[in-house]
């Protein structure tokens, strides 16, 4: 049990004084019962509504976005992907789990749980990421073999083996597990090819929800969160 105003302010949705005001205005309900005083002790698992809309009072948030092109994975910029997240999450202190380039689309996880973000990015976990790419030229059997061997650049930088699969025409899918900066684009450049369009489809065992249109976000379930570590 916890004070009603504390639950609302800890959730990041309101400041303490905004929470008190909303309660005095009679706009806040817990499990269908109007809260009359900010000091009322409420079960933290109660379902809260403000103005009839259910709010998320959980400390940690885990979202999946279908990232659109033209947005960057950094906070504080007007074209940050975080500006596309629904307003109810604005005060949650969100950040992206890893990064996609400005012109890359697709599956992007967003959270305020540093441990989760760290675990997903950790090289020890080797979480595989699947991308769909449109390319300047068709993939050859030599390209597939080169990706499977991994690369070492002239300045000694190493790329771990990646699974390249030819798609229709000048398309391909590629699975990488490192998460280096511009990794997929650089891998194709190493075979004299160029990525024209890139979309992330899957992280670990979690697929992009294709019912999300570009720029749309939804919370992921606990099972989906586990799936990220499942493959
Ligand atoms: N690899 C890239 O080159 N770009 C991305 O956005 C993701 C992986």
Q: What is the pLDDT of residue 184?
A: 97
| CA 71/CA 84 separation, integer angstroms | 9
Same domain? For 219 and 117 the reply is: yes
Domain count, the chain: 3
Q: What confidence tens digit (pLDDT) does each residue in 156-185 have? A: 999 999 999 999 999 999 999 988 889 999
Measured in Å, residue 136 CA sits from the centre of ligand 1 at: 16
- Arithmetic mean of pLDDT, 190-215: 97
Checking if the pLDDT of 77 tops 90, the result is no
Tell me what the pLDDT averaged over the chain comes to.
94
Predicted local distance difference test score (pLDDT) of residue 90:
80
Give yes or no for residue 12 having a pLDDT over 80.
no
Is residue 113 domain-shared with residue 157, that is, in the same domain? no
| Site residues for ligand 1, CB cut-off 6 Å | 100-101, 104, 182-185, 198
Kindly state the average pLDDT of the residues 82-89: 90
Residue 99 CA, closest ligand 1 atom number = 6
What integer pLDDT is reported at residue 120 of this predicted model? 93
Q: Is the pLDDT of residue 64 over 90?
A: yes
Same domain as 144, residue 181? yes
Which residue range(s) make up the domain with 106?
A: 62-123+205-227
* 92 — pLDDT class (breaks 50, 70, 90): confident
CATH of the domain at 76: 3.30.70.580
| CA 87 to ligand 1 center in whole angstroms | 28
H-only helix segments in 80-164: 114-121, 141-149
* Cβ 10 vs Cβ 60: under 8 Å: no
Asked whether residue 133 falls in the same domain as residue 199, the answer is: yes
Q: Which is nearest to 18 in space by CA: 31, 49, 27?
A: 27
Kindly state whether residues 106 and 148 are assigned to the same domain.
no
Which atom number of ligand 1 is nearest to the Cα of residue 129? Answer: 8
* Per-residue model confidence (pLDDT) at position 136: 98
From atom 3 of ligand 1, which residue's Cα is the shortest distance away? 182
Indicate if 85 and 134 belong to the same structural domain. no
- Rounded to two decimals, what is the model's pTM? 0.87
CA atoms of 32 and 229, how far apart (whole Å): 37
Residues 139-154: tens digit of each pLDDT: 999 999 999 999 999 8
Measured in Å, residue 187 CA sits from the centre of ligand 1 at 10
8 Å CB contact between 107 and 202: yes
> Do residues 39 and 51 share a domain?
yes
Q: Where residue 44 falls among pLDDT bands split at 50, 70, 90?
A: confident
150 with 213, same domain? no
**What residue's CA is closest to ligand 1, atom 4?**
182
Q: How would you classify the pairing of strands 195-203 and 104-111?
A: parallel
Q: Are residues 192 and 175 in the same domain?
A: yes
Q: What is the CATH number of the domain that holds 42?
A: 3.10.290.10
What number is the average pLDDT over the span 18-34?
95
Query: What is the pLDDT, as a whole number, of residue 57?
Result: 83
Which residues lie below 8 Å from residue 90, measured CB to CB, with a gap of 6+?
Answer: none
Annotated active-site residue 101? The verdict is: yes
- Do 133 and 198 fall within a single domain? yes
For ligand 1, atom 7: residue with the closest CA: 100
Q: pLDDT-derived band of residue 76, with 50, 70 and 90 as boundaries?
A: confident
* Judgement on whether residues 116 and 217 belong to the same structural domain of the protein: yes
């Amino acid at each position: 049990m916890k004070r009603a105003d504390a639950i609302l302010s800890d959730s990041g949705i309101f400041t303490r004084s905004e929470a008190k005001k909303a309660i005095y205005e009679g706009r806040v309900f817990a499990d269908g019962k109007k809260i009359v005083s900010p000091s009322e002790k409420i079960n933290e698992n109660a379902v809260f509504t403000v103005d009839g809309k259910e709010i998320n009072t959980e400390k940690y948030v885990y979202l999946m976005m279908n990232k659109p092109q033209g947005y960057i994975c950094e906070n504080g910029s007007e074209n940050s992907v975080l500006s596309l997240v629904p307003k109810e999450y604005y005060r949650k202190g969100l950040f992206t789990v890893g990064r996609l380039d400005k012109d890359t689309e697709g599956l992007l996880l967003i959270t305020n749980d540093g441990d989760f973000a760290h675990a997903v990015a950790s090289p020890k976990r080797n979480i595989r990421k699947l991308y769909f790419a449109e390319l300047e030229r068709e993939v050859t059997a030599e390209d597939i073999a080169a990706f499977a061997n991994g690369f070492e650049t002239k300045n000694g930088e190493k790329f771990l083996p990646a699974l390249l699969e030819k798609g229709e025409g000048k398309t391909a899918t590629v699975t990488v597990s490192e998460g280096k900066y511009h990794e997929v684009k650089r891998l194709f450049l190493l075979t004299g090819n160029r990525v024209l369009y890139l979309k992330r489809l899957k992280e670990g065992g979690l697929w992009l929800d294709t019912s999300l249109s570009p720029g749309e976000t939804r919370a992921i379930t606990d099972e989906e969160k586990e799936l990220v570590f499942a493959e």
